[in-house]
Structures are given as C-alpha cells and as structure tokens.
C-alpha cells in the first residue's frame, strides 16, 4: 500500500468515525418524546385513591389568605382540579359542575357541603388568576365555593393524593376530568368523571354522606334532625327535568298502609269481642 493510499484510508476511517460519533451524540442529546396520556392508567390511579384520607394541605384563597383543606372537615367536600389557562375543557367542566351543585344544594340544603376548585398549573395559577377564573365562570359570589392555589410541591402531593393525572402537552395539559367527593371525616369517598356530569352520579354520593354524616359540634335539635332525614329520604331524582323533587307518594303509601292495618285491627277486635259474647273465648 502506498503512502497516498494509506493516507486516504486513514482519512476515510477518521471521517467515518467522526460521523458515527456525531450520530451517537445527537441521539443521546435529542429531547425526549412527550409522555402520552394513558387513560387506563389515569383511571386506575384515580380509583386507587378511594378510601385514602385527604391531606391537610395548606393553600391560598383568592385573597391570598392561607386555607387548610382540613378546615372543610365536618361536611362533605366536592373537589376539582383545573388550570386557568384552559379555555375549553376546564371551563366547560366547571360550569357543568356548577349546574349539578345547584341541584344538589336545592335537594340537600345550601350549606350541606363545600366545593373547592384548585389550580394545578403552579407556574400560572395563583390567587389573582383563580379569582379571574371564578369570575369567568360566574362563581365569584358563591360563598361556599372556594378557588385555591398553592406551590408546586403541595399541589403535586395533592394530585397524587386524589389520584389526579396531568401531563404537559403542546396545548397545555392532558389531564383527568374528575370531581372528587370527600366525606365529612376527610376521606376520599367517590370519583365522578367527565366534562358534563350526570346529576345523580354526583348528588347520590353527596346524599349518602349527608344522611350518614356524624353530628357536628353545633347542636342539632331532635325535630330538625328528623325533618332533615325525612326530607332527604323522600327526595328523589326526576329524570324528566334533571332535578330532585320531594316524593309525596311515600307518605301516601304509608298513610294507606296505616289505614289498612288500622281497619284490619278494628275488625279483628270486633270479631274477638263478638266471639267472647258467644262464649267461644
């Protein structure tokens, strides 16, 4: 092999080595592909949260004051997570939730449960943006609906606690659309899914919790307790108007049944008296 041929060979070898090294470096330093949102995994994580105690996370309300989620113990809590720069899904889901909350309050009582919406995009969701989001949804005057935000670590821990999944995407976030029902003791009781929530799916678990909640520190009279339980027991879902109504047929049935028993007892008593007169007894 001549000197020129050797030189050409080594030159080609070095060029090929350099190209190979460059390809490896490019492969190693190329940005990772964005994570895909796996619906099955997200649903499983959400359902796995049932029965967990909700942590006493400290967040800030629309005025910047610190609020602990444990402050809502004693009554059922309805919790949702949104990001305020979402102009479609989060707004639609919040307005749908507001419509069902209104029906639930009409059936169960205005102060029978709390509602909390938390911004999970911690870079952009803070007290001012949460206040603006509340105004956009027409909920800024609702005294029992709280819009909260927090720091990254707190919100991430909360999301894991309630089984909420959110993955960054080119348009913002791909995330679970869920409303979490928490009982009066701060334990996660039910998950309800979808942008548009069917009324019974949310009201029925709240109704169960209101009927079975332990007594609060504020004393409740025996009469008030009976009235509340009778009212809730007789409140039934009416699909024709997608709302709850007081079912008087229950009382009608009880009255008719009572009259039948009274009538039968009266005639039985008369028969016994007549039999005694004849000396049969």
| Boundaries of every domain in the chain | 39-214+224-231
Strands (E) in the chain, as ranges, are 58-60, 66-68, 77-82, 114-119, 145-148, 166-169, 172-175, 178-182, 188-193, 235-238, 243-246
Q: pLDDT value at position 95?
A: 95
Q: Whole-model pTM?
A: 0.68
Q: pLDDT value at position 165?
A: 95
**Per the structure block, which two tokens stand in for 249?**
């047929």
Q: Determine contact, residues 166/159, Cβ cutoff 8 Å.
A: yes
Query: Could you list the pLDDT tens digit for every one of the 281 residues in the chain?
Result: 444 444 444 444 444 443 333 333 333 333 444 568 898 999 999 999 999 999 999 999 999 999 999 999 999 999 999 999 998 899 999 999 999 999 999 989 889 999 999 999 999 999 999 999 999 999 999 989 999 999 999 999 999 999 999 999 988 999 999 999 999 999 999 999 999 988 999 999 999 998 874 444 333 344 444 444 444 444 454 455 545 454 445 444 555 666 677 767 766 766 677 666 666 55
Q: pLDDT value at position 71?
A: 96
Q: Which CATH class is domain 39-214+224-231?
A: alpha beta
Q: pLDDT value at position 262?
A: 74
Q: pLDDT value at position 92?
A: 94
Query: Buried (b) or exposed (e) across 80-101, using 16+ Cβ within 10 A?
Result: bbbbbebeebbbebbebbbebb
Say which DSSP state 86 is in. -
The whole-angstrom separation of Cα 182 and Cα 210 is 11
The whole-angstrom separation of Cα 84 and Cα 61 is 14
Q: pLDDT value at position 279?
A: 64
Q: pLDDT value at position 133?
A: 97
Q: Determine contact, residues 142/179, Cβ cutoff 8 Å.
A: no
């Amino acid at each position: 092999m001549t000197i020129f041929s050797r030189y050409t060979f080594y030159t080609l070898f070095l060029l090929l080595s350099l190209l190979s090294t460059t390809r490896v470096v490019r492969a190693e330093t190329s940005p990772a592909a964005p994570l895909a949102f796996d619906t099955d995994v997200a649903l499983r994580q959400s359902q796995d949260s049932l029965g967990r105690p909700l942590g006493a996370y400290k967040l800030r309300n629309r005025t910047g004051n610190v609020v602990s989620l444990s402050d809502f113990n004693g009554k059922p809590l309805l919790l949702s997570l949104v990001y305020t720069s979402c102009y479609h899904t989060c707004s639609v889901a919040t307005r749908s939730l507001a419509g069902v909350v209104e029906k639930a309050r009409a059936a169960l009582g205005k102060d029978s449960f709390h509602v909390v919406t938390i911004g999970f995009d911690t870079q952009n969701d803070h007290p001012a943006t949460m206040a603006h989001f509340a105004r956009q949804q027409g909920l800024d005057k609702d005294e029992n609906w709280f819009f909260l935000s927090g720091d990254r670590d707190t919100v991430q821990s909360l999301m894991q606690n309630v089984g909420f999944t959110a993955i960054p995407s080119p348009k913002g976030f791909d995330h679970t659309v869920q409303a979490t029902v928490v009982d009066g003791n701060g334990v996660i009781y039910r998950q309800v899914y979808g942008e548009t929530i069917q009324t019974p799916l949310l009201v029925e678990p709240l109704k169960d919790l209101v009927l079975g909640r332990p007594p609060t520190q504020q004393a409740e009279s025996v009469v008030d307790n009976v009235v509340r339980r009778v009212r809730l027991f007789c409140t039934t879902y009416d699909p024709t108007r997608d709302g709850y109504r007081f079912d008087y047929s229950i009382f009608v049935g009880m009255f008719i049944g009572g009259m039948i028993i009274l009538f039968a007892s009266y005639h039985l008593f008369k028969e016994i008296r007549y039999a005694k007169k004849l000396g049969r007894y």
